[in-house]
Every structure is written in C-alpha cells, then in structure tokens.
C-alpha cells in the first residue's frame, strides 16, 4: 500500500491542505491504534480541523482499514515462533532472560495495543500478569482471576503457569536464574518498588537484573502498532468545577510542603484531571497518555505527542503549561539535576527509567504518593452535581432496560450478548453517552458466577427461567462516570437464591446507611458488607468498593473498601462503589452495586465530625429476589426509601408504560 | 538501722541458718520492692524454705518496714531540687540534656518502683510518658488519657506538658536542642525503633543522641529501690497444657525458619510462658523480670537474679535451661558474635543496648516479631479449659457482687472504694484469687466517663439514684486471667442512658455473634462494635478488644480489635476482650466487656474455614439499662441465650437467695 490513499490526499489538497503523505500515514496509524469509542470520529479534527462529511467519510474508511491491520494480538495461544525469536534476540544482546510485564509505562488498567507485549508473546489477554523467559524455560504468572483463562489462552508447554501471590516471580527467579545469569528488563515498564523485589531475587540467585535500552520484544514484533493518537479535548469548567490554574497552584503547594520542587506525574488520569483535558488513547477511559512535571509554582511541563493536541486545546491549556515531545523528558530530568531540584516520585508506579535518570542527574528524590491522586478523588460540588446528573440519566437507561428485560424474557429466550447490546443502545439513546466505562459483564446463570466474565459467542448462555442474570455495566458521560450492577431473577428464583440475594442486600444496605467518624478508612467498613454472608459461612473474593473518577477511570484510588488494610481515610466528595456479591460456581452470581459519594453527616449532638454515603445510582433492585423476613425494619425502610427516590427521580423521565412498570418494581415492601 | 533486725537473725540462727546480715538485708530489700499481691507471703521461701509461723511473722514485719521506706515516689509534684540535681549531674557528664522515658528495659505496662524514674523526677504516675530535660528547659509528653493527670501531678512551670501524638518529642528535640548539643539517653530504656526516630531528630537539630553507661537519674535518686525479688514458681502442666521442652523445641524451629540461630527475648511474659514459670516482680501480673536467649535447638539461657529462683523451680526448669546473672548477658552477646551466630530481635521492643552490643560483636541481626508472642496468644485446649474454669469461678463472684450492689444500693449511699473492696473480697472468697489482674476501675456517675479512672478518697463519688455505675475489674487465678466490665443502673436510668447502653450492647452482640473467614484481623471487625453508636454520631476513644494472657498479662498482643490497622489475623485459641463503650464527659460512662476465645465455627456448606467467638465471661448484663425496641430479634435472642448460660453455669454455685436474684436478673426479654 502507498503511504496514504490517493483519494484522501486528493480531498485534502482540494481543501487547501498539502499533507506530507508519510507524516499523514503515521498520524493515521496512531489514530487507528486508539480505540474507537462511541462518540463518533472526533479524531478527524487531528487531520483536518474543519472536515466536511465527504472528507470525514474517506478518512474514517482509511482508519478502519488501518485498524484492521494484523498486529498479531488476536493469536491465542501465540505462535511459539515468537518465543523462539525473543530468545534469539536475547542471545544477540547477551541476556540470559527477560521479564515481560503486562503493564505499560503508566501502570494503568488499560494498555494500548502496541504495549500489549505480554498478550502478543503469550496470547494471554488478562489485565494483570507477567512472563519471565529464560533460555531453556519460561513461566507466566497470573492471579486467581485468570487461572482458567491462562490455560485457555497460553501454550502452557512453553509458558508454565504460576498463580500469584502463592507462587511469586521473585521466588521463581531466585530458583531458576543461573549463577551469573543476566535477567533483562525494560526500565520503562518496571516500577521502582517492583524492581527492588526482582533485583533482590536475582541477587539471591547470584545473578543480576539488567535494564535494556530498548525492549527486545519490540524488535521482533512485526506490525506492532504505534502509540495511540486520540484527540485531547478541553474538559470545561462547567464539568471540572475548578480551573486547572487553581488545581496546579493548590497541588504545587502540596509538592512544596512535601519537601520537593517538582513532582513527576506518570498517571494519565492524574494529568487529565490536573490540566482539565480528556483524551481517548485507551479503551473505556477518557485520558491521553503522557507524562507531566508539576512545579511547586503551579506550572506544568507536559510531555505528550503534539499531533494529538489540537490548537484549541493548546490554547485551553494556557501559557503555564508547556508542551514538549515525550522524547525530551529525559533531558528535562537531567536539567532538574543540574539546577539542584528535589523531585517527588511515587515509587509504586514510577518507572525505574525515570528514577534512575533522576538519580544519575544528582536529583534527590522525595518518595511520596502521587500528589494529584487525593485531590482528584475528592470531587468538588460542580463535579458532584455533574455526577448526580449522569446517574439520573443512566438510571433512566437502566430502568428502561430492566423493564424491557422483564417483559422480553417472558416472550422468548434471550442471549447474553444481545441483552448487553440492548443496554448499550438504551444508554446511547440518552444522546450523551461518550463510551461505556468498561466492557459490560452480562452473565446468565453459571456465567454470572465468573466475577470478570466477558460474554463471547462461544460462552454466552440463554437467560433461562428459574435462573439469575447479572449485569455489571457503566457509561462515560462528560459530566460523570457510572458503574452499576443489578442481578435479576428470570422467572422464579429458588429459596436459596433469595436467601443469598437478601444477605448481599443486607451488606449493601449496612454500608449505604453507615455513618462513620472522620478518619475512617474503607478497610474498617468492609466487614459491614460481608457480615450477613459470613454468618452462614459465605463470602466473596473481591473488594467491596473502588473509587470512581469524574468522567475518568471507573477504577481509581487512593481509597477503596476492601479487606486489604488501607491508610487512606474516606473523605467528603470521594466516589466509591458499594458492591457486595455472592458467587456459587457453576450455578449463579449475585452482585448489587450502587455508586455512593462520601458526604458530611448532619447529626445533632454528634461527638465529632461524621461522614456518610449519598447513594448516586438510581435503579430498581429486584424485589422478586428478596426474602423479606431476613430484613430488619431499618433495612426494609432503607430499601423503600431508596425505591421511592428512584420512582421520584427516574419516573418522570419515562413514558407511561415504563413508568407503570417502575411503580410496580419499586413498590414498598 | 542495722543491716538486719536482731530478732530475725536470731530466729534464723535458732533454725540452723547462718545468714550474712548484709546479704539478707539486700535480699529483703528486693523482696520489699516487689508488690505484695493477695496470695500471702510466698516470698518467705526465698529467705527460709521451711519457715514456721513465728519466723514468717518476723520476716513479714521486716518486709513491711522496708516497703514503707521512703523512695520519693509518692511526691507529686516532685520537688524541683531533683530536676536541679539532674541538670548538675548532666553537666558533670558533659551532656546538654537527657531523655527520661516511663519504660523500663522490658517495655511493659508495669515497671518496678526502682525503674519509675519519670515518676520520681516529675511526679507523673501515668502508664505512658516521656520527659526531656535540657539545661534551660524541660518538657513532658503524655497522651490524651493523661492531659488532666499531668496538670495535677507535675510542676508544669518546670516541665512543659505536650500531648502526643499531636506534639511529638521528635519535633520538640529538633526545635529545642542546640546545634552541637549532646542529648543523652539510657540505651537500656530506648528501643531500636524509638532510638532511630530520636537520633534523626537530633541530627535535624545539628546535635547528637548519646548513650550513657549508667543512668544519671539513678545517681541522684537517694533511696532508689533495688530490682524486685518475687519468687519464681513452676506453672504446672495441668495449667500450661504443654511442656516448656515442647514449646522451646517448637519455637526454636521457628527461630531457625526465620533465618536466625538464637532469639533474644526481652518480654517477661514471653519468658514466663516459654519456661512455664510465674513470678511477681510487678503489680497485677505474675511474671519475673529477666532476659532469655532461645537457641534454635530449644535450649535457653535465662538471665535472672538467682536469689528469686528457689531450688524447686531450678529443678523444674530442667537442664536445657541455664540460669545466669543478668550482668552476664553482655558477655553472652559478645560470644554469639565470636561464634558467628545470627540473632533474632524485635526492634520495636529490644533495648538499643542489646542491639548495639550484638552489632559491635559482629552479629547479624534478624529483625522480626518476638517469636513467642503468637504461640503464647493461641491458647491450647488445657489452657482454654483452665480459663473457662476461671471465668465460671469469677462469674460467681461477680454475680454475688451485682446482687449485693442491687440490694445494698437501695439501702444506703455507697461509695466507689468500698464497692470495689466488696468486689475484691467476693473474689477472694473463691479461695483461688492470686491477685487482681489490674487495679479495679470503680466509677460512679461522671467518674464512669473517665476511661482510666482510679478512685481515691479525694475523687470517689456516691452511687446516686438515677446514675450509672461502671466497674471494670479482673482476677488472676492460676488457671486463668479474667477481665470484665459491667455498667449498672443505680435506681432508674434515663431514656438517654438506656439508648446509649443499648447501642453499646448492640455493638457487643454484633461482635459476639460474628463469624469471619480465617485470615480476618481485629481491625476488620472493629467497626461492627461501633456501628450502632456511629449511626447517632457517637463513638468511644479506645480499642474494642485486647488480647489476654493465661495467668499472665491482662493486656497482651500480638492481636487486638481496634481502629488501628493490624496485620495479625485472629486465630483459634486467642483470647480477646469485647468491650465497646460510650462516655459522656461529666455525666456517665458505659462499657460492656466480656472476654471471648476465638474458635472454629462449624457451618454446614461454608465456602472456606470460618472462625467465631466463644464468650467466656459469665455475669448478668443489666436489663434495666436496655431499650428493648432498639434490639433486633437476633440480638434479643443472643442476650437471652447468654443469660440462660449464665443461669445454668453460675446459678448452681449460688445460695438460694442469690440464685433467685440471678433468675430475675437474667430473665428472657
């Protein structure tokens, strides 16, 4: 293929643009490496700021062709020739092994296709994992969620699967690396904390942990996609609620107070929130990949590919934000050393590459949490109002969906994928949906018991009478990110299902009603959501709640509600999910998830400041699944009050038929 | 006074003993420095193994005289001449300041009189605190429990009070020590962890933190008591349930597994449990002060004053335990270095003196928790049966006490001290009481709201109609240690009191009924006990539960139930208190405390191993304080079941009158 299609070049020339064909193709390959989303081809702005429909259509057609180019990522298991080629490459470089983590430079939940080295090399597509390749053996490490997937996706004769944390990569390295062995790693992909563990393991084996200049996987990956290029757009004050200027000043002061002059920010959601911009480089999450240096005086050096930043966004960023190519980050870190600056880094996420470069430049590091994470988590009143609006809107889509499901499932057999597509379509009918906030989990019967289930034509089941159907889904709206799980009885549920559902609901309500003193962490509250299940010897193997961004990541920190000890107290404005569940393998899954916001509790005579949760999500909880005798009066009251709110807020937005169904679905118990 | 009274010398000589008068006086001064306890003058064995009543009486009389000798500890506030003398002494030694912690070498809750340097110097008698003396200023640091006490007991013109943790000694040192200043400390009293914090603070001030060879306070303290000498007695297998041999072998293996050859044990309760002996060197806690080196092969070198170890105990210890004078510990540590041993130390409690000596000797330190703490916390079946017996016995005393209180308080005004004395007398009537397990907290009305209240003739109140009376007490029996709090209405309680009492009770019951998966920590359960209070904006500022020893410390680790994050999971056999409370300053205090034991929960169909609590304490909870409408059916059921157990176990041990009262006090709701 030529570097750019003639029709596109001609259309551009007709409109007075004279693009360099190679540069244009490079730009379009970046565009094609970004996910498509549901908001239309806004990326056209990057190619032609004022494209008409004809040009747009031609560009979209080209993008679609580029996006279909085989990058080798769909091969599962991956051909063993890749492993052989990597071993050849390692030998050439004088390395005895190499570590291939799932993570990219930003240590986020999603990584762009060109960074999915673990998936390309092994076929494993899970969201966490790690392979280690030695000359004569290789291992892949995944957690309990993926023990089945790894068997299905990976050639386990070549990559021996290990389950973390029971079997640790550290121990494997210590046992398998030969004395004097050189185990390579990509310092962009290894965090400082992670590196130190692995380096010690190499030491125990009598070997060394060796950084490479360039990733050997990239050298042997033909058709590897370039970095994604999705347009970076302003996130206006009407949603952000605080100017970037104000945020930068405020957090610059924090950086100063921590004893640093500059903070290196590597989390793209932190950058998006700090600069009031949104992007689209990875699926389901509206941020742009890049790095930032936040100076104590509030100015920011942003390291990001200029091609994805339209002129209007450059203007929006203002003159206290300078834009530079990512390749210049290294020189900037060197300069910080020359002028004697102290730099704050978060060792749990910062790449070894950056920390080493800083230390080589003589910079003293201040090790602390990403200073943006906590302010970002505490939503301001404008953000909160946007989030409430997003939930009111989302609640209409969910309620219409539940009504459709209730009636349609009595008429014909429904399958998981068509059901989740129906839900997406109803969300799109709001006219405001930018994207889903994650891939919908649509699980009928036994599939509902698989916590991270993803329906495919091979696995999907029919929603059968007498079964439970679990649907966990969410939307990205400019004013907020939603995440809701409902579990619905198809036909008549068994008494056991109702008992379990009601215990999950009791946990949900205990948390929803909880008031707690300032200073309380999510770890302290977690047991409230499990107590009713624990009493009958049941539990669920996931956290009870995760933070949620404001039109950002559906999973964000630094707070959470889980068994794992946390030092981060819940604070007013934090959004967190309330999602206890119960899963009976091979039978059914139950989860009841609402998002809640932490707010001040107004309690007369309180002995100190107390907080409580405001429930944001508005959609019926299936009354058919509830065993009323298990509820206390207070719990029943909470449910009735909640359902009244749903009726009052969602009802007026429905047509008469749907409203009648909602009245019925939310009737008081 | 001569070195020993003539009558005693004569009586001893008549019985064929020819004691050296000076040695005898020294021994008796040590005896007099130990607390008296309630078990009689068992220490006579140390002087005359077969003393008759005449000799015993003479020795007891002498001891009483010695015990009354003025050691300066009752002066409150302490005369400022002491501070002046200390400053003089520091100057003489070339020091610019000195740190005086409340702790002794063992970092325990109780310290012997001769180690109460902080109390002698300042007058402060609290169980935690620290003074720092510089040439021109001095400060005393106490926590929130003692902010009132420090004002009452200390001359605050000389020692400026500071509240920890808000105002830290580290910050004070950094701000007040002069550049080049030498701040002295006693390396026996400073832990490794504590030392490092202070040393950094001195560094920040441009000064140094300097260990001293001998404590300068001791040099200026006339009449300072010697180390206590209470007899060390065998703790037989019928109570211990496992031979010392077996314990030493088992924990020696742990020490090996941690990568060490020897563990240095500095906690006297660990030593007592490991060697199956009990002592009486500090109040309310039956252990002997000393140090031990536990070798991986199970043998122990015990560093303890031989004068308090009778021959029968030496025989009981057996030949795998060698006894040496405490002064020889240093040489032993040196030897460990010479022969290349690795030594496990717990840096949170080990004296800097020992860690420095080990490191100077070339020993590599393995930093880990005291290896005895966890096995000691997990009681074996024999210990548990003993503990159950102790609680059955204690429950009789408590029930008789509550009956007496119910009738007597309607007849005449009762005062706090006489009431607690009555309780002690009833415990002594069991014929098995060795000591109280701590000083009884007997608080009427507003005094009940002072969490660590100690009644004195100056502070005690009358138990008035319409008030609440709180009594927190416990006994030391050879088969177990008890700790119970009951809150009783005198006359008719107000609706508010009943509301608060019922919420505390709901928290108590939530914990008592809880089942939880293996791996759960006390921090995860803590909120269950607070939830009902939190809902109305109330809380209590103490932990919910502490570990309890088996005829040992009433407060022991490593587990607890509290807001503070813990990494120690609850395990079968652990004893822990369940003691939520509520305190209205100036009005009343409420606490409901039972001890519980962790045990396996038998649940059909459980998805993993679950644990639950067995309630050990058996005594009525005041029905007059309960607002029944606030209880759920399950809570009411729990209370009725508990009270039925109390009736069944305690009832048959009472006389007819008391049994009738108990029937009434435990009637079903």
Structure confidence by residue, pLDDT tens digits, A439-492:
999 999 999 999 889 999 999 999 999 999 999 999 999 999 999 999 999 999
Which residue from B527, B604, B610 is facing A525, i.e. has the nearest CB? B527
What are the backbone dihedrals phi and psi of residue B457, each rounded to the nearest 5 degrees, phi first? Answer: -60, -25
Give the separation between CA A60 and CA A57, rounded to whole angstroms: 5
Residue from B534, B589, B634 to probe the interface with A (highest A Cβ count within 10 Å): B534
A423-431 mean pLDDT: 98
Residue from A512, A530, A538 to probe the interface with B (highest B Cβ count within 10 Å): A538
The residue with tokens 């359960």 is B525
Q: Within chain A, what is the greatest distance between any pair of CA atoms?
A: 76
Q: Looking at residue B569, what DSSP letter applies?
A: B
- Structure-model confidence comparison of residues B203 and A217, the more confident one: A217
pLDDT greater than 70 at residue B548: yes
CA distance A252 to chain B (A): 25
- Contact predicate B616/B632, CB 8 Å: no
H, E, C per residue of B135-193: CCCEEEEEEHHHHHHHHHHCCCCCCEEEEECCCCHHHHHHHHCCCCCEEEECCCCCEHH
Handedness of CA A237, A240, A242, A245 (dihedral sign): negative
pLDDT at B268: 98
pLDDT tens for residues A584-606? 999 999 999 999 999 999 999 99
A22-49 mean pLDDT: 95
Residues of A with CB under 8 A from a CB of B: 510, 513-517, 519-521, 523-528, 531, 534-539, 563, 565-567, 601, 603-608, 610, 632
Which residue from B524, B534, B604 is facing A527, i.e. has the nearest CB? B524
DSSP-assigned letters across all residues of A80-132: HHHHHHHHHHHHHTT-SEEEEES--TT--S---GGG-HHHHHH----SS-EEE
pLDDT at A539: 97
- Contact predicate B548/B538, CB 8 Å: no
User: Is A531–B510 a contact, with Cβ atoms under 8 angstroms apart?
Assistant: yes
Residue of chain B nearest A537, judged by CA positions: B606
Residue from A531, A570, A583, A586 to probe the interface with B (highest B Cβ count within 10 Å): A531
User: Three-state DSSP class for A334?
Assistant: helix
DSSP-assigned letters across all residues of B363-381: PEEEE---TTHHHHHB--H
User: Is A536–B563 a contact, with Cβ atoms under 8 angstroms apart?
Assistant: no
pLDDT greater than 60 at residue B1: no
Radius of gyration for chain B, computed over Cα atoms and rounded to the nearest angstrom: 26
B528 CB neighbours in chain A (<8 A) are 527-528, 531
Residue from B499, B504, B537, B567 to probe the interface with A (highest A Cβ count within 10 Å): B537
A40-55 mean pLDDT: 95
Q: Which of B536, B482, B489, B511 is nearest to B638 (CA)?
A: B511
pLDDT greater than 70 at residue A71: yes
The residue with tokens 């007819």 is B656
Residues of B with CB under 8 A from a CB of A: 510, 513-517, 520-521, 523-528, 531, 534-539, 563, 565-567, 601, 603-608, 610, 632
The residue with tokens 């300032």 is A518
A632 CB neighbours in chain B (<8 A) are 632
Residue from A515, A518, A537 to probe the interface with B (highest B Cβ count within 10 Å): A537
pLDDT greater than 60 at residue A1: no
B604 CB neighbours in chain A (<8 A) are 537
- Contact predicate B264/B343, CB 8 Å: yes
B523 CB neighbours in chain A (<8 A) are 523-524, 565
Residue of chain A nearest B603, judged by CA positions: A537
Radius of gyration for chain A, computed over Cα atoms and rounded to the nearest angstrom: 26
A426-450 mean pLDDT: 97
pLDDT at B165: 85
pLDDT greater than 70 at residue A151: yes
pLDDT greater than 70 at residue B388: yes
Q: What is the pTM of this model?
A: 0.94
What is the band of A283 on the pLDDT scale with cuts at 50, 70, 90? very high
Lowest mean pLDDT among A244-253, A312-321, B200-209, B482-491: B200-209
Q: How far is CA B595 from CA B533, B575, B616, B618, B635, in A?
A: 21, 7, 6, 9, 18
Helix axes B381-411, B633-650, angle to 10 degrees: 90
B510 CB neighbours in chain A (<8 A) are 531
Q: Looking at residue A140, what DSSP letter applies?
A: E
Residue of chain A nearest B522, judged by CA positions: A524
Give the separation between CA A102 and CA A128, rounded to whole angstroms: 6
What is the band of A148 on the pLDDT scale with cuts at 50, 70, 90? confident
Number of H helices, E strands in chain A: 23, 28
pLDDT at A560: 97
Residue B171: is the preceding peptide bond cis (ω within 30°)? no
Two tokens, residue A149: 């997937």
Q: What is the mean pLDDT of chain B?
A: 96
Which residue from B517, B534, B601 is facing A610, i.e. has the nearest CB? B534
- Other beta carbons within 10 Å of A356: 15
Q: Which helix (H) or strand (E) holds B628?
A: none
- Contact predicate A51/A59, CB 8 Å: yes
- Contact predicate B530/B545, CB 8 Å: no
A510 CB neighbours in chain B (<8 A) are 531
Which residue from A520, A528, A535 is facing B515, i.e. has the nearest CB? A535
Residue of chain A nearest B541, judged by CA positions: A607
B517 CB neighbours in chain A (<8 A) are 534, 539
Q: In what order do the strands lie in the sheet with A484-490?
A: A441-444, A467-473, A484-490
Give the separation between CA B59 and CA B43, rounded to whole angstroms: 10
Give the separation between CA A242 and CA A302, rounded to whole angstroms: 19
What is the band of A106 on the pLDDT scale with cuts at 50, 70, 90? very high
Give the separation between CA A60 and CA A48, rounded to whole angstroms: 12
- Beta strands B300-303 and B321-324, pairing class: parallel
- Other beta carbons within 10 Å of A59: 25
A367-386 mean pLDDT: 98
pLDDT at B107: 95
Give the separation between CA B548 and CA B559, rounded to whole angstroms: 10
Q: Which of A389, A403, A394, A470 is nearest to A662 (CA)?
A: A403
C-alpha B97 chain-centroid distance: 30
Which residue from B523, B526, B606 is facing A537, i.e. has the nearest CB? B606
pLDDT at B500: 98
A538 CB neighbours in chain B (<8 A) are 606-607
pLDDT greater than 90 at residue B148: no
Which residue from A534, A536, A567 is facing B517, i.e. has the nearest CB? A534
Give the separation between CA A92 and CA A547, rounded to whole angstroms: 45
Q: Looking at residue A544, what DSSP letter applies?
A: S
CA distance B181 to chain A (A): 25
Which residues on adjacent β-strands are paired with residue A560? A546
User: Is B531–A517 a contact, with Cβ atoms under 8 angstroms apart?
Assistant: no
pLDDT greater than 70 at residue B557: yes
Give the separation between CA B338 and CA B290, rounded to whole angstroms: 24
Two tokens, residue B150: 């420090």
pLDDT at A306: 98
A610 CB neighbours in chain B (<8 A) are 534, 537
Q: Percentage of chain B with pLDDT > 70?
A: 100
In sequence order, what are the residues at sequence separation of 6 or more whose Cβ sits closer than 8 angstroms to the Cβ of residue A534? A527, B514, B515, B516, B517, B610
- Contact predicate A330/A357, CB 8 Å: yes
B573-585 mean pLDDT: 98
Give the separation between CA A192 and CA B121, rounded to whole angstroms: 49
B525 CB neighbours in chain A (<8 A) are 527
pLDDT at A4: 85
Residue from B204, B528, B535, B601 to probe the interface with A (highest A Cβ count within 10 Å): B535
Q: What percent of the residues of chain A are helix, what percent strand, and what percent coil, each to the nearest 5?
A: 40, 20, 40
ipTM surpasses 0.90: yes
Which residue from B535, B565, B632 is facing A632, i.e. has the nearest CB? B632
pLDDT at B2: 58
CB contacts < 8 A, A to B, total 89
User: Is A524–B524 a contact, with Cβ atoms under 8 angstroms apart?
Assistant: yes
Give the separation between CA A151 and CA A140, rounded to whole angstroms: 11
Residue of chain A nearest B517, judged by CA positions: A534
Residue of chain B nearest A605, judged by CA positions: B537
Two tokens, residue B371: 């290896």
pLDDT greater than 90 at residue B109: yes
């Amino acid at each position: 293929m030529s570097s750019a299609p003639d029709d596109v070049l001609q259309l551009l020339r007709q409109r007075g643009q004279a693009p360099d064909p190679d540069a244009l193709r490079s730009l379009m390959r970046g565009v094609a490496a970004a996910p498509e989303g549901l908001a239309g081809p806004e990326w056209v702005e990057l190619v032609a700021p004022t494209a008409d429909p004809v040009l747009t259509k031609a560009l979209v057609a080209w993008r679609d062709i580029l996006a279909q180019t085989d990058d080798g990522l769909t091969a599962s298991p991956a051909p063993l020739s890749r492993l052989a080629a990597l071993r050849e490459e390692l030998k050439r470089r004088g390395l005895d092994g190499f570590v291939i983590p799932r993570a990219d430079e930003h240590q986020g939940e999603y990584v762009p296709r060109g960074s999915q080295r673990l998936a390309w090399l092994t076929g494993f597509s899970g969201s966490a994992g790690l392979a280690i390749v030695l000359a004569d053996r290789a291992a892949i490490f995944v957690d309990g969620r993926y023990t089945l997937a790894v068997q299905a996706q990976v050639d386990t004769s070549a990559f021996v699967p290990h389950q973390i944390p029971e079997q640790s990569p550290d121990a494997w390295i210590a046992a398998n690396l030969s004395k004097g062995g050189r185990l390579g790693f990509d310092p962009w992909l290894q965090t400082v904390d992670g590196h130190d563990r692995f380096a010690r393991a190499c030491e125990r084996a009598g070997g060394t942990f060796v950084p490479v200049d360039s990733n050997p996987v990239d050298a042997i990956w033909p058709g590897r996609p370039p970095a994604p290029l999705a347009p970076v757009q302003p996130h206006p004050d009407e949603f952000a609620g605080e100017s970037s200027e104000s945020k930068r000043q405020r957090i610059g002061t924090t950086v100063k107070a921590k004893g640093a002059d500059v903070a290196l920010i590597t989390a793209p959601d932190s950058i998006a929130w700090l600069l009031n911009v949104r992007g689209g480089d990875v699926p389901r999450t509206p941020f742009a990949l890049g790095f930032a240096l936040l100076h104590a005086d509030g100015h920011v050096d942003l390291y990001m590919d200029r091609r994805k930043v339209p002129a209007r966004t450059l203007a929006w960023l203002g003159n206290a934000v300078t834009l530079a190519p990512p390749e210049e980050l290294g020189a900037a870190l060197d300069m910080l050393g020359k002028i004697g600056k102290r730099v704050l880094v978060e060792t749990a996420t910062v790449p070894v590459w950056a920390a080493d470069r800083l230390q080589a430049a003589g910079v003293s590091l201040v090790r602390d949490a990403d200073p943006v994470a906590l302010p970002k988590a505490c939503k301001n009143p404008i953000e909160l109002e946007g989030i409430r609006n997003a939930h009111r809107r989302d609640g209409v889509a969910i309620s219409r969906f539940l009504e459709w499901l209730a009636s349609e499932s009595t008429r014909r057999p429904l399958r998981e994928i068509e059901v989740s597509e129906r839900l997406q379509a109803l969300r799109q009918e709001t006219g405001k949906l930018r994207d889903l906030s994650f891939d919908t989990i649509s699980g009928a019967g036994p599939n509902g018991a698989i916590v991270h289930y993803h329906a495919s034509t091979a696995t999907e089941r029919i929603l059968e009478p007498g079964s439970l159907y679990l649907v966990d889904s969410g939307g990205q709206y400019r004013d907020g990110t939603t995440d809701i799980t409902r579990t619905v009885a198809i036909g008549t549920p068994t008494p056991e299902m109702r008992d379990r559902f009601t215990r999950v609901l009791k946990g949900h309500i205990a948390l929803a009603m909880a008031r707690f003193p300032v200073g309380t962490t999510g770890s302290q509250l977690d047991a409230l959501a499990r107590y009713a299940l624990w009493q009958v010897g049941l539990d669920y193997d996931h956290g009870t709640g995760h933070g949620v961004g404001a039109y950002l990541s559906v999973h964000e920190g630094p707070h959470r509600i889980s068994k794992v000890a946390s030092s981060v107290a819940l604070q007013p404005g934090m959004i967190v999910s309330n999602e206890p569940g119960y899963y009976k393998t091979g039978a059914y899954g139950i989860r009841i998830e609402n998002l809640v916001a932490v707010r001040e509790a107004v309690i007369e005579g309180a002995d100190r400041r107390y907080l409580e949760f405001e429930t944001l999500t508005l959609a019926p909880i299936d009354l058919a699944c509830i065993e009323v005798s298990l509820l206390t009066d207070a719990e029943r009251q909470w449910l009735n009050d909640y359902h009244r709110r749903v009726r009052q807020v969602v009802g007026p937005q429905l047509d008469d038929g749907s409203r009648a169904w909602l009245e019925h679905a939310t009737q008081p118990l």
